[in-house]
């Protein structure tokens, strides 16, 4: 999905497409950093 937004930005120069790309990148990074073990520790503490 990030690649789609990047391609839209590259072709059109749309700031909105770039912002969507950055949002998708941030969401991907957030979900990649959270592991099942991390969620268990948060629930315990």
pLDDT at res. 31: 79
Burial class (CB in 10 A: 0-12, 13-18, 19+), 21: buried
Under the banding of pLDDT at 50, 70 and 90, the label for residue 45 is: low
pLDDT tens readout for residues 15-37: 999 999 999 999 988 877 765 56
The two structure tokens encoding residue 22 = 């950055």
The alpha carbon torsion through 26, 28, 31, 33 (nearest 10 deg) reads -80
pTM (2 d.p.): 0.64
- 13 conformational bin, left if phi > 0, alpha if psi -120 to 50, beta if neither: left
Q: Show me where the domains of the chain are located.
A: 2-44
Residue 18: partners with Cβ closer than 8 Å, 6 or more residues away: 5, 9
């Amino acid at each position: 999905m990030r690649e789609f937004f990047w391609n839209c930005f590259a072709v059109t120069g749309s700031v909105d497409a770039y912002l969507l790309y950055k949002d998708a990148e941030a969401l991907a990074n957030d979900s990649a950093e959270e592991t099942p073990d991390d969620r268990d520790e948060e629930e315990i503490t």
